[in-house]
Amino acid sequence: MILGIDVGSTHTDGALIRDREILATAKSPTEKDNLFSSLKVVTERLITPETSGQIERIVLSTTVSTNAVVEGKLARTGVILINGPGLAPEHFNFGKDTYFLRGYVNHRGRELAPVDPEQIREISDRLAREGIKYAACAGKFSTRNPIQEKTVREKISGLRQVSLSHELTGRLNFPRRAATAYLNAAVFETYNDFLLQVLDFFKRERISVPFHILKADGGTFRLESSGSFPIQTILSGPAASIMGILASLREKTDSIGLDIGGTTTDIAFFARGAPLLMPAGVAIGGYKTGIRGLRTRSIGIGGDSRVARQEGRLKIGPRRDGPAAALGGPSPTPTDALVALDLVRLGRRDLASEALAPLAGQMGLSIPEVALAILKQMAGDIAGEIAREIAEIDNQPVYTIHEYLEGERLTPKNICVVGGPAAPLAPLIGQHLGLPFLVPPQAEVANAVGAALARTTTELTLLADTESGTLTLAEEGYTTAIPSRFSLNDARRLITEKLKEKALSLGADSAGLDIEITEEQVYPVVRNYYRSGENIRLKAQIKPGLAG
């Protein structure tokens, strides 16, 4: 039995699952300033004396880190950037506690300018004088050689946390890594306070099972590991819903996932049964991060969007004036259209019809006609956005002739819709796209189901440079010497082994570890027209998916 809980911004949902079958669900409004209390209510409802002994794992998705970033509740953090030449420093704006440290590592991972221990000490002293307890460090090309970031952590003293960018993402993108390291340090305290409460609660309840946390990529990791990497847990809410949709898709085809909420609709895609990821990382609260996350597009159209007439046509969203008119809200909404047509039973139908009356009058339509027009417009808007997203995915730049000519295109075979108004809207959207649709049973707790069924994910980036005789595993900060005959096969073996180790330490189930090498490139290094070595680049992952 697995317990999945998603602490969302409006509701906290729980689902108890055995063999992919939902045994029980619970829903409770989220108490915004006390996320823990909402979690407690749902857990107590699902863990009963009968079930408590049978639970094997608890998976939690929480908005703690997301809220801290979005609401700007960030701890004062010293940001140390080893930026070297390139983009001007004003592009890196982390406020007055930003320090630029001299030093430089180049694209090959060669340390071309050392960091100055004296300058690090000055920064350290300054942080201490200012009473700053958290710091983040990012160096250019630190994923190619982490030595300078590591030196900073070593030489800086008296802090609760020094987040290093290469440990958070193995990707090349210095500004994103800097933002990621900064946010990780800045939400550290808030997240760990929450974590302590959770651990304490389960201890008191005498529940001692593996406890996992959902990440932005729709995978999980052990609660104990999450303490050092709280930023990995951002945007796990939308990820939970997408994993829930994945759980209800039977075949491993290309599919569209749709989560229609109150103010927004999230669109996701699956390629041969695996959710698509954001190529560079997810964005949150105005920060572009390097955190691997599911590719979602959020549009400002939902059940509670305001419906108005603009330039002779119906305009839905992006504004939300309040709840639906049927529930006493001020403006007509798609939810009111559903209520007026009796497709949804909610609040007062007379209030819904009353709110639609002015629109009906302007358009010379009856109430049911205008209600249907609203739903069609909404379905059309969402379908249009889906088509634009697919075009964008298919037009992503590629860098080889082979991929250019042979690259696969996304061809969705069906659409799966969850969220409040899923059932009545799915047929209309399916019709627009000419695709069969699916509304999973208990779609309203798809998020909790998704959390429960998510598997542990992780990734590793390997660079082997046989000319210089060094190998690095970016995210691990691992560097080792290699012989000049080190081959692609050796690299494959090593990355597979290290990824397996890492996955197990993060809580993965050793049975059926699905390791996949996602990128594999070998380039010669040529000096004076002679081959002097090889530059081997690999990326491996355990991709997001459902636990066995």
What are the residues binding other proteins (CB under 8 A)?
84-91, 104, 106-108, 112-113, 140-141, 171-176, 280, 288, 395-402, 404-405, 521, 523-524, 526, 528-531, 535
Q: Taking the complex as a whole, how short is the minimal distance between the CB of residue 406 and other proteins, in angstroms?
A: 11
Instruction: CB nearer to other proteins: give 362 or 521.
Output: 521
Strands 296-299 and 287-288, sheet pairing: unpaired
Q: Taking the complex as a whole, how short is the minimal distance between the CB of residue 516 and other proteins, in angstroms?
A: 21
Q: CA-CA distance, 158 to 463, in Å (whole number)?
A: 33
Q: Taking the complex as a whole, how short is the minimal distance between the CB of residue 106 and other proteins, in angstroms?
A: 6
Instruction: CB nearer to other proteins: give 216 or 452.
Output: 216
Q: CA-CA distance, 90 to 218, in Å (whole number)?
A: 34
Q: Taking the complex as a whole, how short is the minimal distance between the CB of residue 107 and other proteins, in angstroms?
A: 4
SS3 517: strand
Instruction: CB nearer to other proteins: give 401 or 511.
Output: 401
Please check whether residue 317 is in contact with residue 302, taking contact to mean a CB–CB distance below 8 angstroms. Answer: yes
Q: CA-CA distance, 236 to 447, in Å (whole number)?
A: 10
Instruction: CB nearer to other proteins: give 166 or 432.
Output: 166
Q: Taking the complex as a whole, how short is the minimal distance between the CB of residue 473 and other proteins, in angstroms?
A: 17
3-state helix, strand, coil in the chain (%, to 5): 40, 25, 35
What is the DSSP secondary structure assignment for residue 53, as one 8-state letter?
A: G
Instruction: CB nearer to other proteins: give 456 or 461.
Output: 461
SS3 439: coil
- Residue 154's CB is within 10 A of a number of other CB atoms, namely 11
Instruction: CB nearer to other proteins: give 18 or 110.
Output: 110
Instruction: CB nearer to other proteins: give 179 or 186.
Output: 179
Phi and psi of 24, rounded to 5°? -155, 150
Q: CA-CA distance, 458 to 184, in Å (whole number)?
A: 17
Beta-carbon contacts of 202 under 8 Å, excluding residues fewer than 6 positions away, are 58, 208, 211
Please check whether residue 331 is in contact with residue 325, taking contact to mean a CB–CB distance below 8 angstroms. Answer: yes
Q: Taking the complex as a whole, how short is the minimal distance between the CB of residue 505 and other proteins, in angstroms?
A: 28
What is the DSSP secondary structure assignment for residue 209, as one 8-state letter?
A: S
Q: CA-CA distance, 329 to 269, in Å (whole number)?
A: 33
Q: Taking the complex as a whole, how short is the minimal distance between the CB of residue 128 and other proteins, in angstroms?
A: 30
Please check whether residue 248 is in contact with residue 17, taking contact to mean a CB–CB distance below 8 angstroms. Answer: no
Q: Degrees (nearest 5) of the Cα angle 189, 194, 199?
A: 125
Q: Taking the complex as a whole, how short is the minimal distance between the CB of residue 163 and other proteins, in angstroms?
A: 18
Q: CA-CA distance, 334 to 377, in Å (whole number)?
A: 10
Q: Taking the complex as a whole, how short is the minimal distance between the CB of residue 112 and other proteins, in angstroms?
A: 4
Instruction: CB nearer to other proteins: give 172 or 209.
Output: 172
Instruction: CB nearer to other proteins: give 388 or 531.
Output: 531
Please check whether residue 209 is in contact with residue 57, taking contact to mean a CB–CB distance below 8 angstroms. Answer: yes
Q: Taking the complex as a whole, how short is the minimal distance between the CB of residue 164 and other proteins, in angstroms?
A: 16
Q: How far is CA 543 from the centre of its chain?
A: 13
Residue type at position 348: R
Q: Determine whether 259 is exposed, middle or buried from the number of CB atoms within 10 Å of its CB (0-12, 13-18, 19+).
A: buried
Instruction: CB nearer to other proteins: give 86 or 328.
Output: 86
